[in-house]
Amino acid sequence: DGGITQSPKYLFRKEGQNVTLSCEQNLNHDAMYWYRQDPGQGLRLIYYSQIVNDFQKGDIAEGYSVSREKKESFPLTVTSAQKNPTAFYLCASKQQQGSNNEQFFGPGTRLTVL
C-alpha cells in the first residue's frame, strides 16, 4: 500500500527540548512539505523540499529545521527556539513533474509542549 506515514501520532515534550517528527512516503514523490495547523487557522507551510538534498523555508520556518537525505524521508525538528510549538503537524508529498497532481497528506502528529 502506498502512502505517507507520520510518527508518532501524539508527542509530548518538555519546554526547552528539541523533538523530531518523522515523515516517510513510499509514493516515489519528488516534493515533500511540512505544515502546522492551529485552531481556527488554515494549514501554514513550514518547510518544503522539491528534490533530495534541497529544501526551502516556508512561511513560518523560524524555530524549525528539516533534512532531505533520502527521497522517501523528510523529518522535521522542532527546536527550543520555536516559541509556540504546540500544534498539529502535517506532512505531505506530491509528484513534481507531469500533470497537476494533488498533495497527499499523512495522518498528522499532535505535539504538546508541557
Binding site for other proteins (CB under 8 A): 4, 6, 31, 33, 35, 40-45, 48, 50, 56, 58, 88, 90, 92, 94, 96, 100, 102-108, 110
Spatial separation of the C-alpha atoms in residues 63 and 13, rounded to whole Å = 15
Beta carbon nearer to other proteins, 19 or 29: 29
Least separation, in Å, of the C-beta of 107 and other proteins? Answer: 5
Cα–Cα distances in angstroms (integers) from residue 77 to residues 2, 52, 67, in the given order: 25, 17, 9
Residue with cell 524549525: 64
Least separation, in Å, of the C-beta of 73 and other proteins? Answer: 17
| All residues at 6 or more sequence positions from 17 whose CB lies less than 8 Å from its CB, including other chains | 80
Least separation, in Å, of the C-beta of 78 and other proteins? Answer: 18
**Helix, strand, or coil (residue 19):** strand
Beta carbon nearer to other proteins, 26 or 96: 96
